[in-house]
Amino acid sequence: MNETNFYKIIDEILWKYWDPIEVNENEEARSEYQNYTWQVYKLKIGKASIEEISKHLYKIEVDDIGLLGNLKHCEEVARKIIEI
């Protein structure tokens, strides 16, 4: 699988499964998480662990988005990303 495919799959995982603000049923909001795709992509190709990716997603939820965060859900999403 090439790097472009990795990037697209990560973008899709963040949209379908992570979706911390629950907007993925509205296709007009499709770009909502794309600012984070590159960061997660770099972690993935850098061989980051599930723990590192999940903590990164959690940090985005709490620090950038302003939510309480759900570390368990972030771990589930990170597992999907690692399994690509």
HSE at residue 40, side-chain half, CA atoms within 13 A, is 34
Enclosing domain of residue 37 = 3-22+29-82
Q: Is the pTM of this model over 0.85?
A: yes
Q: What is the pLDDT of residue 57?
A: 98
Q: What is the pLDDT of residue 3?
A: 80
Number of domains present in the structure of the chain: 1
Q: Tell me: the pLDDT tens digits for 7-66?
A: 999 999 999 999 999 999 999 999 999 999 999 999 999 999 999 999 999 999 999 999
Q: How confident is the model at residue 4 (pLDDT cuts 50, 70, 90)?
A: confident
Which one-letter amino acid corresponds to residue 39? Q
Q: What is the pLDDT of residue 76?
A: 98
